[in-house]
Amino acid sequence: MNLSNLQQTLAQPKTPCRIRCCTVGGCLSANGLAVKTALQTAVADHHLAEQVKVKGVGCLGLCSKGPLVQIDPDGRLYEQVTPEQATQLVQMATDSSWSDDLSEPRIRPSDFQPDQHPFFTQQQHIVLENSGKVDPEKIEDYVALQGYAALYRVLREYSPDEVTKAIAQSGLRGRGGAGYPTGLKWETVAKMPPGQKYVVCNADEGDPGAYMDRSVLESDPHRVLEGMAIAAYAVGATQGYIYVRGEYPLAINHLQTAIQQARKHGLLGSQIFDSPLDFRIDLRIGAGAFVCGEETALMASIEGRRGIPEQRPPYPAESGLWGRPTLINNVETYANIAPIIRNGADWFAGIGTGKSKGTKVFSLTGKVQNAGLIEVPMGISLQAIVDDIGGGAAAGRSVKAVQTGGPSGGCIPASAFETSVDYESLKQLGSIMGSGGLIVMDDQTSMVDVARYFMEFCMEESCGKCIPCRAGTVQLYQLLCKFTQGQANSADLTQLEQLCDMVKHTSLCGLGQAAPNPVISTLQYFRGEYLALM
């Protein structure tokens, strides 16, 4: 089947009006599914099926205002919608004039209109371009928005070497945290001797407060499958795995549906698009161990072994799953691939900073007024994210700091908010980009408590393989508890700093090496809070 035939096969009838209802993540937990059902009932009751279509869609972004509903064609957004407002919304959407007793107050459109409010206008969507537009359970929606066009193009117009060169030229760096150049990793796997190779998607997102990958999988799963298939063609792999957290049941459900649909239409399996490419994808469900986000532990878990890190080298690109060359990228990285192929490497490289290209997806949470899923161009300032997009702290409060990078990251004070958000700048401040968690803290937040919270997380999630991490995180946590209980002295402060240095420089894997970062950064910028507790 060619792309044109696929698009014709999956073409859908259009209606003048479309009501999009977010049914994932935060909106789902706020009764979004009941809102969607009520909207569908209202449409059926008033025989409007030919005029309006109600769709369940992925994340609309402004998670703190859910359930969210957006009405096309003009794109009006409504927030905190209740099932009782469904009839009125359908009436407004269709300009109908039936005379039901609308006992609810007239619904006002949200103040956060996508074409006007900084929460949306300051963003740039590449990864999230389909989020909130497509029904994640319908391949028809994805294909209608150029879905699988990039895969079709590379199979017809590109050699595998040309694909890896395009990704390298784009400047895309891995979005899982380390920021390693994606094209270089692809080239390494592609150059390994022919034979069995693997493509793996790391969807074991475990940072506290982070839900970017979950949202992408829940909202637009076909995009990740397409990125993985393009990667498989580039490096010569025939088998792929998505390692996803067991705590993400909706993402798992949507992935399973998407894989079945892709197989049905010849987009996974043998001779994809009638080409020589054979590529299968299977899911592997993680049991919730944070350490399995580390790639050697992840591969061990896929193989059925205990998920603990292993010494490197060799690196997975040379000797990965079952000793074979393995390409590992995370969800967001694969979600960038199709747009790069469709729009060109130069287009992507033109976004961002000199060394950090493209955009970054963040889950903006904490003591900020507008929490949600955002995607911003690299190079934007932290100030713009916190104040313009996030709306700053609540009335009467001020923002003290942001924490980026999860338990491996650091805390950045408000005095450094003019800093550009890119890999190098965040590292200079003692933090990291990480996978995309961004937690805002206000003037009531104790930074010592923040450090203790993340150290407790690292202590409980340590796999226990190496002594520095296994014992060091326990001792660091106990010392931090002495500070929060007002029992610490100057010797404890000295020991705290020495232990941070030891754990950082002697732990086996990156998770242990980065565990002291929240303590180190809070000591650097908020040392006075530690001294005040002695």
Q: Percent of the chain scored above 70 by pLDDT?
A: 98
Q: Work out the average pLDDT over 3-26.
A: 91
In single-letter form, the type of residue at position 414 comes to: A
**pLDDT value at residue 152:** 97
pLDDT at 160 over 70: yes
In percent, the amount of the chain with pLDDT more than 90 equals 89
165, 143 Cβ separation under 8 angstroms: no
pLDDT band of 177, cuts 50, 70, 90? confident
Structure letter (DSSP) for residue 57: E
**pLDDT mean over 147-156:** 97
Alpha helices in 46-181 (DSSP H): 86-94, 118-121, 139-144, 149-157, 160-170
Q: What is the pLDDT of residues 287-318, one digit of tens each?
A: 889 999 999 999 999 999 999 999 889 999 99
Asked which of 101-110, 337-346, 377-386, 401-410 is least confident by mean pLDDT, the reply is 101-110
- Please tell me the predicted confidence (pLDDT) of residue 97: 59
Higher per-residue pLDDT: 533 or 102:
533
Mean pLDDT (whole number) for 486-504:
97
Flag whether pLDDT at 90 surpasses 70.
yes
Mean pLDDT for the stretch of residues 272-299: 95
Residue 95 pLDDT > 80, yes or no? no
Q: Looking at the DSSP assignment, which residues form a beta bridge with residue 330?
A: 202
d(CA 199, CA 337): 14
**pLDDT at 101 exceeding the cut of 60:** no
Give the pLDDT confidence of 112-145 residue by residue, as tens digits. 999 999 999 999 999 999 999 999 999 999 999 9
Mean pLDDT of 333-356: 98
Angle (CA) 172-125-426 rounded to 5° is 55
> Rounded CA gap, 527 and 299, in Å?
40
Q: How far is residue 231's CA from residue 235's CA, in Å, rounded to a whole number? A: 6
Q: What is the DSSP string of 270-293?
A: SSGGGSS--BEEEEEEE-S-GGGG
SS3 content of the chain, % helix, strand, coil (to 5): 45, 15, 40
SS3 of residue 311 by DSSP = coil
The answer to whether residues 151 and 230 touch, using CB atoms and an 8 Å cutoff, is yes
- What residues are paired with 52 via a beta bridge? 17
pLDDT at 100 over 60: no
In this prediction, residue 60 carries a pLDDT of 97
Please name the amino acid found at residue 520.
Answer: I
DSSP label at residue 516: T
Q: How far apart are CA 239 and CA 231, in angstroms?
A: 11
| Residue 102: per-residue pLDDT | 54
What pLDDT does residue 1 have? Answer: 76
Sequence-ordered list of residues with C-beta below 8 angstroms from that of 189, at least 6 positions apart, any chain: 197, 235, 236, 237, 317, 325, 326, 327
Cα–Cα distance measured from residue 480 to residue 459, given in angstroms and rounded to the nearest whole number: 12
Distances in Å between the Cα of 463 and the Cα atoms of 12, 100, 299, 434, 516 are 50, 61, 15, 20, 16
d(CA 165, CA 128): 24
Whole-number average pLDDT of the chain: 95
**Strand pairing of 326-330 and 198-203?**
parallel
- Whose CA is closest to 185, among 205, 200, 206? 200
Average pLDDT over residues 315-337: 97
Please tell me the distance from the alpha carbon of residue 406 to that of residue 209, in angstroms, as a whole number.
8
Region 440-455: mean pLDDT is 97
What is the pTM assigned to this prediction?
A: 0.95
